[in-house]
Structure 1
Amino acid sequence: MTDIPRGTAVPKAEPAASNTYFIAWRWHFYAGLYVIPFLTMLALTGLMMLWVSWSSGIGSERLAVTPSGDLLPASTLQATAEAAVPGATAFHYLEPLAADRVAIVAVAADGVKTGVALDPYSGEVLRSFDWQAGWYDWLSVIHGTLMLGVTGDRMIEIAASLGLIMIATGIYLHWPRGQSGWRGALVPRLSARGRSWWKSLHGVLGFWVSALLVVFLVSGLSWSGVWGEKFVQAWNTFPAEKYAPPPSEAVAVAAGEATHDMAMHEMPMSDDVHAKMNHGAEKEVPWTLEQAPMPASGSLAGTAAIDGAPDLDSVVGFARALGFDGRFQVALPDGPEGVWTVSHDSASNDGPGAGSDRTLHLDRYTGNVLADIRYADYSPYAKAMAWGVAFHEGDLGVWNLVLNTLFCLSVVFLTVSGLVMWWKRRPDRAGRLAAPPRSPERSLWKGAAVLVVILSALFPLAGAAIVAAWLLDLTLLRLMPGLKRAVS
């Protein structure tokens, strides 16, 4: 497809291939009208979240300390943190990232949650901060909901779904044709001028990052409220029937007993689901567990582990004996039926990969293990999501940080270059949007109708948006020719 000089008439399509090209171009253009603002926002907020996370982590967890002797008991750190905030009660403990990093205890008083960073060797309070209310958390709310709650989530889900259409049509538009071949598809023509220069860079860069963009959009969509929550997440939620773990040598060693028979009692379930453990907009619970019900304390169910009612020291010691290495988190019981939860997972940035994901629930009265859920227990899609989230958040190492940074900058360039190409193609004083021309071959739109049906089945909100635009074209725009011309 040759470039069209600004202000000149668009040539009519001739063969069927050209007709298909015009259809793909129009889909790419109109989808872009909605997608570009959201894609730009997602790239910019994602880039900022990436670097905030790498520079500071959760609150002040990257603060350095000088190792000196043995670590203080976790209960001592808990008492110090509670004393630092009058009337506060601890609800969360974070094991230090490394031997030379702080421990974090989160406390709550009068509905206000505060994180307290402590030297794990001396117990000195190094800093207090608003829990889950920093720059990362603020950016996360924008990134996930535009600060509009459910409405924002649905708007972003539509944009991400239509973004997949833009990728498919963009690849079709840039696919090598004629004399340019694969070199023209993979290497930009830096010698070009004007709109041709922008088009070459836009097409080549889009071609290279399209696979990554699919990964980011699909992993993001898997958190969304309709396609994610109602479809793929619901189908891949970890089954509560598998909670009670079989006796294991690790549990026997940690508890100091030779054998452990599973108690013949039905596992009681709480009315809460794991998603309640997320703090604000943060997605800290493994994706496959968010909709799974929490087990409840107060029965003889589970496998014997800690002798008697656990406290923070015994839970932390038990976790270390089981092999929880580096940073792990302990959520203290919430209410009479609450459980102790020990977790190490990629969704919370606890480690460099998803293979070591593990979530452990213990009865607050008996110390029995009620659930021991590991990466190996995830469904295939949940395993892919665990790695996808870690990759999405840049948790797999410096290479991941660099790659995601370049990717976010590339997405911003794609959105900007798309707008520049439109502006350069748009005739002077056109008084209209100057969309790509319609294909004169009307029968080809039957294929588009089939595509809408498929999209509606796979991504309901994208299908609904396309149907809404089609109905608008059939009704309001036909009654208002001036408006129809403006958007044509």
Structure 2
Amino acid sequence: MSATENPASGDLSGAYRAVWRWHFYAGVLVMPFLMLLALTGGLYLFKDEIDQTVYRSLIQVPARAAQADPDAWAAAAAQAGGGRAANVLLPAARDQAVRVRVDRADGSQRTVFVDPHTARVTGVTAYGGVTETIKRLHSLSLFGPAMNLVVEIVAGWAVILFATGLYLWWPRGRAGVAVLAPRTGDARRRPFWRDLHALTGFYVGGVVLFLAVTGMPWSAVWGDRFLNLMRESGLGRPPAPAAASAWSHAKPHDTPAGVGWTMEHAVMPGPMAHDPSLGRVVATADAGGLPRPYIVNIPQSPDLAWTVARQTRRAEDARTLYVDGQTGAVRADIRWSQFGVGAKAFEWGVAVHQGLQYGQINRIVMLLGCVGVWVLAISGLVMWWKRRPPSLSRARLGQVRLGAPPAPPGPRVRAAVLGIVIPLSILYPLTGLSLIAALSLDWAMRRLRARSVIA
């Protein structure tokens, strides 16, 4: 969203320019990241279609009634992948291969496709293939674990962008504010781009805000702390059944896949398994009425129950079994009804975020949000280009102006900005720390400009 050309005069004009200034800086700071997140997020909405297109020859197998021994799947995958079978995804369709994640001694992982009817390996790829790379780009984890902190900061600043943009667009009795459509069709004029920017923000800003907020559970700092709060308050993970051991936090090599945000890292200690069997656990899951597709997690530690998680589209269909690998006995059967209200809210948010909860319309709305981010970025860049400062490239350090509105004085002005930014910074601490850094940089640049003027 963007400012209009003629905000009201007086104190409101000063407050308006101050909010506009920080809207500008927030955009400069996070838009490149938001564009990457929107691009990769938009692609990940079509994960199934991408996998089917790229790996069709590995996925498709002749449909048959007979099924080979699941332990033979794991053995064939371990040999082909050169490591240990860590989990197995069983598809819903008979004409699709099972996918086995193989963990190798050097720390790398592979996905091995195995025909479930013959236990024949149909192919091996890097773990997760193309869509896993897209996912790691989306979380920035491809560039190192610390980059997850950047995602959290960006998500917080995206909320600030939405709040300041809404403040700037809000008519407040002003004339000349586009409400339904851009007021001019001349793309050569700045008002067209200003209205396009504002209206795109108005129509899809709520979706972008939703994506930013519902993406927070995956963040390293805020997500972990909020998950702990949900557990301790009883609003999240259900307690372990009385007949089973209490939950334990999984070590990295035993972290179960496919269990969702609420049960993430939750494992259940049990009796030592001397002869565990994938076939036995699969038979238990099928007999228990767990619909496919589901993931069977094979623990490396012999004293842990096997985790079997249904791969759902709707949050309320979630179900996770904890099965004794030695006997096939079910130690825990965790369902949606057992989740706390906080866990339900966030599981629902995650399912909507991924475009799954409400089918095709859900995916289309999320895709529009991703496209909207690019429209906002491009229109904002065009507006800046049309009002950029002259001789920007020849300016000395103390004279650099990026084109942001000058900082107006006055306590009412500062209150307008702080009233929007500070509450969000308290809610998202990493965003607050980045705000302090931005304020310090802004203060330093103003001091440099003031000294250059005096000189």
TM-score of the alignment, normalized to the shorter chain, above 0.5: yes
- The alignment partner of 2:122 has SS state of strand
Gap runs ≥5 in structure 1:
5-10, 246-261, 301-307, 345-349
What is the correspondence of 1:73-92 to structure 2 with a 5 Å cutoff?
73-85=69-81, 88-92=83-87
The aligned counterpart of 1:435 is: 404
What is the correspondence of 1:305-454 to structure 2 with a 5 Å cutoff?
311-344=277-310, 350-396=311-357, 397-429=359-391, 431=395, 432-454=401-423
Q: 1:386 to 1:57 in 2, by over 3 A?
A: farther
Whole-angstrom CA distance in 1 between matches of 2:248 and 2:410: 59
Q: 1:185 to 1:274 in 2, by over 3 A?
A: farther
What is the correspondence of 1:226-265 to structure 2 with a 5 Å cutoff?
226-230=221-225, 232-237=226-231, 242-244=239-241, 262=243
Whole-angstrom CA distance in 2 between matches of 1:482 and 1:49: 48
- The alignment partner of 1:372 has SS state of strand
Q: TM-score, normalised to structure 1's length?
A: 0.79
Whole-angstrom CA distance in 2 between matches of 1:218 and 1:275: 29
Whole-angstrom CA distance in 1 between matches of 2:307 and 2:190: 57
Pairing 1:127–2:134 present: no
- Pick from 24, 27, 30 the counterpart of residue 25 of structure 2: 30
- Cα deviation, residue 48, structure 1: 2.8
Output one character per residue of 1:242-275: Cα deviation in whole Å (capped at 9) or x when no partner: 2126xxxxxxxxxxxxxxxx4xxx7265452689
Q: 1:438 to 1:113 in 2, by over 3 A?
A: closer
Pairing 1:295–2:268 present: yes
Q: 1:69 to 1:373 in 2, by over 3 A?
A: closer
The aligned counterpart of 1:259 is: none
What is the correspondence of 1:46-85 to structure 2 with a 5 Å cutoff?
46-56=41-51, 60=55, 63-85=59-81
- The alignment partner of 1:107 has SS state of strand
- Cα deviation, residue 188, structure 1: 2.7
- The alignment partner of 1:176 has SS state of coil
Output one character per residue of 1:312-333: Cα deviation in whole Å (capped at 9) or x when no partner: 2221111112221120010113
Preserved contact between residue 217 and residue 223 of structure 2 (Cα < 8 Å): yes
Whole-angstrom CA distance in 1 between matches of 2:210 and 2:418: 26
Whole-angstrom CA distance in 2 between matches of 1:402 and 1:273: 37
- Cα deviation, residue 177, structure 1: 4.8
Count of aligned pairs: 438
- Cα deviation, residue 415, structure 1: 0.9
Gap runs ≥5 in structure 2:
396-400
- The alignment partner of 1:288 has SS state of coil
Pairing 1:215–2:188 present: no
Preserved contact between residue 315 and residue 347 of structure 2 (Cα < 8 Å): yes
Whole-angstrom CA distance in 1 between matches of 2:320 and 2:199: 43
- The alignment partner of 1:465 has SS state of helix
Q: 1:450 to 1:243 in 2, by over 3 A?
A: same
The aligned counterpart of 1:455 is: 424
The aligned counterpart of 2:182 is: 188
Q: Which moved more, 1:104-113 or 1:90-99?
A: 104-113
- Cα deviation, residue 460, structure 1: 0.8
Residue type matched to 1:24 in 2? V
Output one character per residue of 1:373-396: Cα deviation in whole Å (capped at 9) or x when no partner: 222222223222222222222334
Q: Which moved more, 1:39-48 or 1:429-438?
A: 429-438
Preserved contact between residue 113 and residue 131 of structure 1 (Cα < 8 Å): yes
Whole-angstrom CA distance in 2 between matches of 1:463 and 1:452: 8
Output one character per residue of 1:218-260: Cα deviation in whole Å (capped at 9) or x when no partner: 1112211222212x22212377772126xxxxxxxxxxxxxxx
Q: TM-score, normalised to structure 2's length?
A: 0.84
The aligned counterpart of 1:304 is: none
Whole-angstrom CA distance in 1 between matches of 2:154 and 2:76: 47
Whole-angstrom CA distance in 2 between matches of 1:343 and 1:483: 63
Whole-angstrom CA distance in 2 between matches of 1:2 and 1:467: 24
Residue type matched to 1:209 in 2? V
Give aligned-pair identity as a percent. 33
The aligned counterpart of 1:168 is: 163
Preserved contact between residue 22 and residue 437 of structure 1 (Cα < 8 Å): yes
Pairing 1:481–2:449 present: yes
Residue type matched to 1:469 in 2? A
Whole-angstrom CA distance in 2 between matches of 1:381 and 1:240: 9
Preserved contact between residue 116 and residue 128 of structure 1 (Cα < 8 Å): yes
Preserved contact between residue 275 and residue 285 of structure 1 (Cα < 8 Å): no
- Cα deviation, residue 197, structure 1: 0.7
What is the correspondence of 1:97-116 to structure 2 with a 5 Å cutoff?
97-111=92-106, 112-116=108-112
- Pick from 251, 255, 258 the counterpart of residue 277 of structure 1: 255
- The alignment partner of 1:222 has SS state of helix
Whole-angstrom CA distance in 1 between matches of 2:222 and 2:317: 27
- The alignment partner of 1:456 has SS state of helix
Residue type matched to 1:286 in 2? G
Residue type matched to 1:189 in 2? R
Q: Which moved more, 1:411-420 or 1:51-60?
A: 51-60
Whole-angstrom CA distance in 2 between matches of 1:314 and 1:362: 9
Residue type matched to 2:361 in 1? W
Residue type matched to 1:71 in 2? Q
- Cα deviation, residue 57, structure 1: 6.6
Whole-angstrom CA distance in 2 between matches of 1:156 and 1:219: 12
- The alignment partner of 1:186 has SS state of coil
Q: 1:312 to 1:109 in 2, by over 3 A?
A: same
Output one character per residue of 1:36-76: Cα deviation in whole Å (capped at 9) or x when no partner: 11111111122233334432179958823332223333233
Q: 1:126 to 1:146 in 2, by over 3 A?
A: closer
Output one character per residue of 1:436-482: Cα deviation in whole Å (capped at 9) or x when no partner: 133354433134345454233211112222222223444x3355227
Whole-angstrom CA distance in 2 between matches of 1:418 and 1:64: 45
Preserved contact between residue 389 and residue 402 of structure 2 (Cα < 8 Å): no
Output one character per residue of 1:343-372: Cα deviation in whole Å (capped at 9) or x when no partner: 11xxxxx22211111122123345443332
Preserved contact between residue 66 and residue 117 of structure 2 (Cα < 8 Å): yes
Whole-angstrom CA distance in 1 between matches of 2:299 and 2:203: 48
